[in-house]
Structure 1
Amino acid sequence: MRRIQAGSALSAFGLGFTVPYLYVYVAQVRDLGAATAGIVLAVFAMAALVVLPFSGRAIDRRGPVPVLLVASVVAAVGAVAMGFASSVPAAVGAAALLGAGTAVLQPALATMIVWCSTPVGRTRAFAMQFFLQNLGLGVGGLIGGLLVDTSRPGSFILLFSIEAAMFLVLAAIVGTVRMPGSPAFQGARPSEGGKGGVRALLGHKAMVQLCVLGFVLFFACYGQFESGLAAYGTEAAGIQPSTLGMALAANTAVIVAAQFLVLKFVERRRRSRVIAAVGLIWTVAWLIAGYAGLGHGSQAMATAAFVSTYALFGLGEAMLSPTVAPLVADLAPESMVGQYNSAFALVKQLALAVGPAVGGPMGAALHGPYIVTFVLFSLGITFLAVRLGKQLTPEQNQPSLALRPSKVVARHEPVRESETASA
C-alpha cells in the first residue's frame, strides 16, 4: 500500500508541472492559436472517454498492475511528444496519448487500493490517496511555475520531460508490487475473470444511482473551477485573474489541512449523510459566490467571498474523498472492481467535459441564473444522497459497523434434572 500511494503521489506531482500551463503552451509558446489549444484540450478529454469503457474489463481480466504499466508508458510517450510538438497534428496526437494514458491510471490505482485493503480500512486509504495527490499537484504546479518561461520553449520541454519521468517512476514502483503472492491479498483477486459487463452494472440500482450522484457532484464542482466559476468571478465580481490563483491555493490548502481532521468525523458517519452534508456546504458556497458577484459590496468583500467559495468547495472535497471512492469499491462484485472503478471514472470525465461547456457561457453572461442553477444542483446532491442511502446495506453505508462487537450473547440454559437423569 505504501508503494502504491507513493507512486500515485509522484504521478500527480508530474501532472502538476504541466496541467496549469497546457493551454498557454499550445496557444502562445508554440504559437498554434487559441482554437488549436481548445482542440487539444478537447482531444485530451475525448481520449479518456474512448479508453475508459474498455479499461475496466482489462483490469479485471489481466489485473491492475499490467494495465497500469502500459498506461504509464503511453502517458510518458504522450508527455514527451507534447514537449516537442510544434505542429497541430503533433499536438493533437500527443494530447490523445497523454489523455488516454492518464485516464486509465486512476481506476487501475483505485483497484490496487481495493485489493490490498479491507472495507473498514479502505476509507482511510482513499483519503490518503486524495491527500497525497492534491499535495503532489500543488507542489508540482508551484515548482513548474518557477521553471516555466513563455519566451523559451525549452523550459516547457523540461516540464513535460519531468512529467514523463514521473510516469515512468510510477511504473517502476508499481512494477515491484507482487499483489497475488502477498498474504494481504488472499481472497481479493477476482476468481470469475471479470464476468458481468455493462448489463450487470446497469442492473445494479445502487451503482446507477451513485453514478448519477457522481455526475452531479463533479458537474457542480470540478466542472466549474476553471470555467464557469472563473468566468463568473472575473465578469460579475470583478475578480482579478491573479485572485483566481489565490482561490485555487485556498482550495488546496483546505484539503491538505482538513483531510485527516475530517476523516475522523467521516469514518463514524453514514456515507449517504456525509455526501448529503457536502451538498449543503456547497449550497452555502454558491450563495457566497452569489454575494461576491451580485451583492454590490466592496471589492475587498467580493474578493474574500470568492476565495471563501473555493475554500468551502475544498472542505466538501475532503469529505467526499474517503466516502465516494470506497463506496464504489464496496458496491462492486469481487470480479468487477475494475469495471466499477472505470465506469465511475467515465462518469467523472463526462461531467468534466459537460461542466465547462454549460457553465462557461452562463458564468460569463447569465450571472443570476448561473448562481441559481448551481444552488439547485447542490441541493440536488443532498436529495440524491439521501435517496441513495435507502439502497445501501448498513455496512456499505457505514463500514465502521463491522468493528462493533456483536450484541448477541450466548444465553445459559440450566439443565433440567430429568434430562440429567435420562443422560
Structure 2
Amino acid sequence: MSEQSTSGHGIREFWAALPPAGRWLLSTVAVQTLGRGLTLPFTVIYIHEVRGISLDLAGLLMAFIAVVALAVTGPAGALTDRLGARTMLLWATSAQLIGCVVLAFATTPLLFAVGFLFIGFNFGVSWPAFNALVASVVSGQARQQYFGINFALVNLGIGLGGVIGGLYADVDDPTSFSVIFLADAASMLVPIGLLLGPLRHVHGRADKPADAEVGEGSYLTILRKPAVVWLTLLTFLGVFVGYGQMEAGFPAFARQVSGVSTGVIGFAFAINTAVIVGLQFFVLKRISGKRRTRVLLVMVALWSVAWVVLGLTGQVSGTWAASAGVLLFHALFALGETLLQPTIPAITNDMAPDHLRGRYNAVNAGAFQAGTILGPVVAGFMLNHRWSTAFVAMIVAGCAVMVVLSLTLERRITPFVNGLQEEDQPSAAGSIPQRAVQD
C-alpha cells in the first residue's frame, strides 16, 4: 500500500484500503464487545452483592482470570504459529461462551472459579491470535490505523454495553444478572459465525522459511533480541503505571483521597470512552508516518500530567474542584490511550517474522497481563497505608523511565518498524497475502 492510501484523510479512504477480511473483522468488533460491556462493570457486584461471596474472595476470583491468561499466553502464541490464528480464536471465543454460561448460574466460589478459568483462557489466547490474524491480512500503515480504530470500537461496544447493563441489572433480582451473562455468551456467536463463515479460508498462519535458523522460534531466542526486551519492558511498565492503576488505583484514590462520589467516578469512565471513540481516528491521521517511539513520548507526557492533576485533587478533597480534576484525569488518560493502542501492537507485528507472529504477540501479551496483575496489588498496598503522595510520585517516576525505554527502543528498531517508511513487499494492502489463506 502506498503512503497516500494508508494515510487517507477520512474513514472512507481507510475502509476502501482494507481487504475484505479486514472489513469483516472490523465491522463486528462493537457487536462482539457489547456483551462484554454488559458484564464487565458489574461482575464484582454480582459475586459479592448478589451471590453473597465476600469482597476479599471476589477480588481473588477476579485476579484468577489474569493468572490463567498469563499461564496460557505462551503456549497460545506457539499454537497460533503452528495451527493458525483462526483456529485459536475459535477455541478462545468458544471458551468465553462457556465461561459466561457458567457464570450466569454460578452460586459458589468453585463455580465462579470454573467460569473464570474459561474466561482467562480466552483472554490469554485471543490476544496473540487476534493480533496475528489482523497482521496477516492488513499491512503497512493501515495496520497501525486498524489497531487504533479497533481499540475505539472495542471501547464503544463496552461503553454501550455498560450503559445497558447498568439500566437493566438489579441486585435485588439475581435473574437480571443471569440474563446479562447469557447475553455476553450469545455475543460470542458473532465471532464464531464470522470465523466459520466469511473468514473460513483465512487461517493467519505463515509457512516457516526454508532458510530459518534452528531454534529461532523458541521464546528464549526471541527474548534474547534487544528490541524485544526493550519493547517488553516498555509494555509492562506502561500497563503497570497505566491500565493497572486506572482500573484499581484510580477508583481507590478518587474515593479515599479526592473524596468524590461514585457517580463522579462512573462519569469519569464515560468521559474516557467518549474521548477514545471521538478522537481515535483524528489522532491516527496525525500520527501516521511519525516515529512510533516519539508518539509514545507524547503519551507518557499526557499520562504524567493526568496523574499529577489527580494527585492535586487530594489538596481540595470533596470539592467541585476535586471532581473536575478527576474528570480531567480520565480525559487526559484516554487521549494517551489513543496514542498507545495503535503503536505498541504495530511495532510488535512489524518487528515479528510472519511465521513467528503468534509468539511475538504472546510475549507482548504476557507483559501486558503481568502489568495488570502487579498494578492493582501495589496500588492496594500503598493506598491502604495512605501513601497517596508516594503513589502518584511512583507513577510519575515510572512515566519518566518509560521515556528512557522508548528512546532506547528507538535505537534498536528499523525505521520501518518505527513507522517511518514502508517495507518493500509485493502484496498490496487491498488483498490478503497468499500465506494467510488456506489452499
TM-score over 0.5 for the pair:
yes
The equivalences for 1:15-54 within 5 A come to 15-54=36-75
The equivalences for 1:1-400 within 5 A come to 1-178=22-199, 189-192=206-209, 196-294=217-315, 296=316, 299-364=319-384, 365-400=386-421
Per-residue deviation at 1:402?
5.5
Corresponding letter in the other structure for 2:332: L
Structure 1 residues 104-162: Cα deviation after superposition (integer angstroms, max 9, x where no partner): 22221111110001122211111121111111111111111111011111111111111
Bigger Rg over Cα = 1
Structure 1 residues 169-203: Cα deviation after superposition (integer angstroms, max 9, x where no partner): 21111222447579xx8xx7233599612122112
Corresponding letter in the other structure for 2:353: P
The CA distance in 1 between the partners of 2:383 and 2:233, in whole Å, is 23
Per-residue deviation at 1:165?
0.8
Q: Relative to 1, partners in 2 of residues 1:81 and 1:298: Cα closer, same or farther, differing over 3 Å?
A: closer
8 Å Cα contact 1:4/1:174 also seen in 2: no
Name the SS of the counterpart of 2:290 in structure 1: coil
Name the SS of the counterpart of 1:269 in structure 2: coil
The CA distance in 2 between the partners of 1:151 and 1:178, in whole Å, is 42
The CA distance in 2 between the partners of 1:393 and 1:73, in whole Å, is 38
Corresponding letter in the other structure for 2:278: A
Name the SS of the counterpart of 1:384 in structure 2: helix
Where does the alignment leave 5 or more consecutive residues of structure 1 unmatched? 404-423
Name the SS of the counterpart of 1:14 in structure 2: helix
Deviates more, 1:103-112 or 1:201-210: 103-112
8 Å Cα contact 2:96/2:119 also seen in 1: yes
8 Å Cα contact 2:257/2:317 also seen in 1: no
The CA distance in 2 between the partners of 1:107 and 1:78, in whole Å, is 20
Structure 1 residues 332-363: Cα deviation after superposition (integer angstroms, max 9, x where no partner): 11211011111111111110010000012323
Per-residue deviation at 1:102?
3.1
For 2:437, the equivalent position in structure 1 comes to: none
8 Å Cα contact 1:119/1:399 also seen in 2: no
Name the SS of the counterpart of 1:394 in structure 2: coil
Per-residue deviation at 1:399?
4.0
The CA distance in 2 between the partners of 1:257 and 1:160, in whole Å, is 28
For 1:411, the equivalent position in structure 2 comes to: none
The CA distance in 1 between the partners of 2:64 and 2:184, in whole Å, is 19
Identity %: 31
8 Å Cα contact 2:155/2:273 also seen in 1: yes
Name the SS of the counterpart of 1:339 in structure 2: helix
The CA distance in 1 between the partners of 2:272 and 2:294, in whole Å, is 23
Per-residue deviation at 1:380?
1.6
The CA distance in 2 between the partners of 1:181 and 1:297, in whole Å, is 54
The CA distance in 2 between the partners of 1:76 and 1:37, in whole Å, is 21
Corresponding letter in the other structure for 2:254: G
8 Å Cα contact 2:105/2:178 also seen in 1: yes
The CA distance in 2 between the partners of 1:297 and 1:83, in whole Å, is 39
Name the SS of the counterpart of 1:150 in structure 2: coil
Name the SS of the counterpart of 2:367 in structure 1: helix
How many residue pairs match? The answer is 398
The CA distance in 2 between the partners of 1:345 and 1:189, in whole Å, is 20
Where does the alignment leave 5 or more consecutive residues of structure 2 unmatched? 1-21, 425-439
For 2:19, the equivalent position in structure 1 comes to: none
Per-residue deviation at 1:35?
2.7
Tell me how large the CA RMSD over aligned residues is: 1.9
8 Å Cα contact 1:43/1:99 also seen in 2: yes
Per-residue deviation at 1:31?
1.0
8 Å Cα contact 2:259/2:318 also seen in 1: no
The CA distance in 1 between the partners of 2:409 and 2:318, in whole Å, is 42
Normalising by structure 2, we get a TM-score of 0.87
The CA distance in 1 between the partners of 2:409 and 2:52, in whole Å, is 49
Structure 1 residues 223-257: Cα deviation after superposition (integer angstroms, max 9, x where no partner): 01231121111111111111110111111111111
